[in-house]
Amino acid sequence: MERIDPFALPAAQFFQRFGGESLTFDDLHILQARTIDFGANEVDLSTRITRNLRINTPLVSSPMEDISEYQLAIAVALQGFPAVIHYNLPVEEQAAQVRRVKRYENGFIMEPITLAPEDPISRAVEIERETGVSTLPIVEERRLVGLLTKNDYSGKKHSQRLVKERMVPLERLRHQIALLSDLPADDAARLAKANDLLLESHAGVLLIVNGRGEIDSLVTRTDIEKSEAFPDSIKDRHDSLLVGAAVPTRPEEVKERVRELVNAGVDFLCVDSSHGNSLHERQVLEYIKGEHPRIDVIYGNVAEAGGAIKGIEWGADAIRVGKGVGSICSTSRVSLGTRSQITATYSCARAVREYCRKHRIEPAVPVISDGGYGTFSAIGKGLLFADVVMLGSMLAGTDEAPGEVIYDRQGRKLKEYKGMGSLEASRRGSAARYDVNSFDAFVAEGVVGSVRAKGPVSRWVPQIKTGIAKCLQSLGFRDLASLHEAVFAGEVLLERMSEAGKKEAGIHDLVEYTRDLPLD
């Protein structure tokens, strides 16, 4: 078929033409493919992050110690995508972080934490500090006898007293108790009915009990409010937020970690290695899939088609692509095997797509393009080929990221952001990611740096989402599935940007200018 615009090329021909060159974001212009007959707010950003998990925003936060802990995991899950909790933490602590996310927002809180009337109030204070939970049914041999919430005690004044002295007793709770047998059996209908009863009750929590008066579950008013405020939030079938966790590629270390994470309710795991396609990674992947076949596993990192296909053969549920391209990464300077991110992503995505089609793997294995993303248009370019983009630096400066706040000489607010291959992070556990067994002749593969503070996730991420939606809209696509169909069918055309073109695409010919986005 003759193209109207013969100067641009379909992806397959484009990468063929530049075969032997490793290209990245700024090397590409993407041409509009279809007439735009819809607004950016109509673009559907949902996608699959693993074979069995759908998310509402095509992003995931990187398993790094300055990014993915429970605070950020909660904030991004409310925005439609998961975090992968890093493993530079003792096993119990990583599992506790997963639990905090799972408990954060629930339809039904199925196994609520309870106390006994004889327990000291100080125990309630501890529970709140450790888990964030402050609504505690009080039970005697599982039978509900009262309720203790934050409104009932002060940590300072009452901590030496007993729960029974401050709890609201059963007789005063009648209006906020529902019998399980009075609620519909179907999960969604039961939740809707329970929410209705709660909203009618004036109370903050509805306690659901079985015929013996034992506590079964509860729903809270703050959960209903959170659901209404965050329509994109991603949840499991019990209505808890989705969260993933990383594990190292050391087969001997991984068993306990995997078991604890699964017990904590993790939704998916990520075998975290800077150089995937290794025997150790295969062993860990096969171990997890053998022991926990229902937990989806992300495998990587790879940058070439062969490594991506190996991952599928070994049982991976998603392939993570990106070597030597992260903003804090010095791998390209100390080892080989790296590749520019757009060529790597295209090459792996195309091979995975063809392999899944040929072997009738349905749903297909998603591709996650990880590292190097610093602008909205870069994310748009990655999503031409990948199902999800993994972010590090773009989330590192948010309020919820655990990195330390620093002020530079000009008084700008920054946050620390370090590579997992830096000496500092490696000593806390991520040495495994870089296959380092001893620090005697240690070669760092990452640096310790800082990024501009970006404010709360709830303000910054919606801007990223708008940016991605605009990328799809500007090419004429309403969703990622139709974009991918068109890209791989050759309908979307690409051009190589010249050096002069790169200059032209940047801001130029101004004496000075201001920026409205907290991009570095």
Binder of ligand XMP out of 233, 393, 398, 450 (CB under 6 A): 393
**Least separation in angstroms between CB 24 and ligand XMP:** 12
Closest to ligand XMP by CB, 224 vs 302, is: 302
**Any catalytic annotation for residue 433?**
yes
Closest to ligand XMP by CB, 47 vs 227, is: 47
Binder of ligand XMP out of 137, 382, 421, 429 (CB under 6 A): 421
**Least separation in angstroms between CB 383 and ligand XMP:** 15
Given the rule CB under 6 A, which of 132-140, 352-360, 369-377, 452-460 is the region that contacts ligand XMP? 369-377
Given the rule CB under 6 A, which of 155-163, 165-173, 348-356, 366-374 is the region that contacts ligand XMP? 366-374
Closest to ligand XMP by CB, 94 vs 473, is: 94
Helical (H) or strand (E) element with 205: strand 205-209
What tokens were used for 434?
């870089």
**Least separation in angstroms between CB 507 and ligand XMP:** 22
The total of other beta-carbon atoms located within 10 Å of residue 226's CB is: 17
Closest to ligand XMP by CB, 146 vs 382, is: 382
Given the rule CB under 6 A, which of 149-157, 413-421, 457-465, 487-495 is the region that contacts ligand XMP? 413-421
Closest to ligand XMP by CB, 62 vs 347, is: 62
**Least separation in angstroms between CB 327 and ligand XMP:** 4
Q: Using DSSP, state whether 458 is helix, strand or coil.
A: helix
Residue showing tokens 């991976």? 316
Residues with Cβ within 8 Å of 354's Cβ and at least 6 positions away in sequence, in order, are: none
Report how far residue 335's alpha carbon sits from residue 404's, in angstroms, rounded to the nearest whole number. Answer: 29
Binder of ligand XMP out of 233, 249, 422, 450 (CB under 6 A): 422
Interaction mask 35-74, ligand XMP, x per CB under 6 A: ---------------------------x-x----------
Q: Using DSSP, state whether 200 is helix, strand or coil.
A: helix
Report how far residue 407's alpha carbon sits from residue 453's, in angstroms, rounded to the nearest whole number. Answer: 10
Q: Give, as one character, the DSSP assignment of residue 364.
A: P
Considering the candidates 51, 103, 270, 329, report the single residue annotated as catalytic: 329
Helical (H) or strand (E) element with 471: helix 457-475
Binder of ligand XMP out of 69, 370, 387, 416 (CB under 6 A): 370
Under 8 Å between Cβ of 135 and 106: no
Closest to ligand XMP by CB, 215 vs 390, is: 390
Cβ-proximal residue to ligand XMP, closest one: 446
**Least separation in angstroms between CB 376 and ligand XMP:** 13
Q: Using DSSP, state whether 84 is helix, strand or coil.
A: strand
Report how far residue 33's alpha carbon sits from residue 487's, in angstroms, rounded to the nearest whole number. Answer: 9
331 contacts ligand XMP (rule: CB under 6 A): yes
Closest to ligand XMP by CB, 61 vs 106, is: 61
Considering the candidates 48, 350, 433, 452, report the single residue annotated as catalytic: 433
> How wide is the angle at C-alpha 99 spanned by C-alphas 51 and 94, nearest 5°?
85
**Any catalytic annotation for residue 329?**
yes
Q: How many residues bind ligand XMP (CB under 6 A)?
A: 25
Residue showing tokens 């091979």? 351
Residues 203-232 that bind ligand XMP (CB under 6 A): none
The total of other beta-carbon atoms located within 10 Å of residue 503's CB is: 12
476 contacts ligand XMP (rule: CB under 6 A): no
Q: Report residue 157 CA to chain centroid gap.
A: 40
Residues 268-287 that bind ligand XMP (CB under 6 A): 274
Given the rule CB under 6 A, which of 102-110, 125-133, 384-392, 462-470 is the region that contacts ligand XMP? 384-392
**Least separation in angstroms between CB 346 and ligand XMP:** 18
Report how far residue 182's alpha carbon sits from residue 184's, in angstroms, rounded to the nearest whole number. Answer: 7
Q: Give, as one character, the DSSP assignment of residue 435.
A: T
Under 8 Å between Cβ of 332 and 338: yes
Q: Where are the alpha helices (DSSP H) in 86-167?
A: 91-104, 121-131, 155-158, 163-166
Report how far residue 308's alpha carbon sits from residue 133's, in angstroms, rounded to the nearest whole number. Answer: 41
Question: What string of H, E and C letters represents the secondary structure of 55-113?
Answer: ECCCEEECCCCCCCCHHHHHHHHHCCCCEEECCCCCHHHHHHHHHHHHHHCCCCECCCC
Amino acid at position 257, single letter = R
Residues with Cβ within 8 Å of 100's Cβ and at least 6 positions away in sequence, in order, are: 70, 74, 131, 132
**Least separation in angstroms between CB 335 and ligand XMP:** 9
Closest to ligand XMP by CB, 239 vs 445, is: 445
DSSP 9-45: EEHHHHHHHTTT----GGGEEE---S---S-GGG-B-
**Least separation in angstroms between CB 401 and ligand XMP:** 12
What tokens were used for 395?
């989330």
390 contacts ligand XMP (rule: CB under 6 A): yes
What tokens were used for 234?
């991603």
Residues 300-329 that bind ligand XMP (CB under 6 A): 301, 322, 324, 326-329
Binder of ligand XMP out of 82, 311, 446, 476 (CB under 6 A): 446
Binder of ligand XMP out of 445, 450, 452, 494 (CB under 6 A): 445
Cite the beta strand spans of 374-456 per DSSP E. Answer: 388-391, 405-407, 413-418, 448-452
**Least separation in angstroms between CB 115 and ligand XMP:** 41
The total of other beta-carbon atoms located within 10 Å of residue 181's CB is: 9
Closest to ligand XMP by CB, 385 vs 417, is: 417
Binder of ligand XMP out of 391, 423, 471, 475 (CB under 6 A): 391
Q: Which residues bind ligand XMP (CB under 6 A)?
A: 62, 64, 274, 301, 322, 324, 326-329, 331, 370-373, 390-393, 419-422, 445-446
Q: Active-site residue numbers?
A: 329, 433
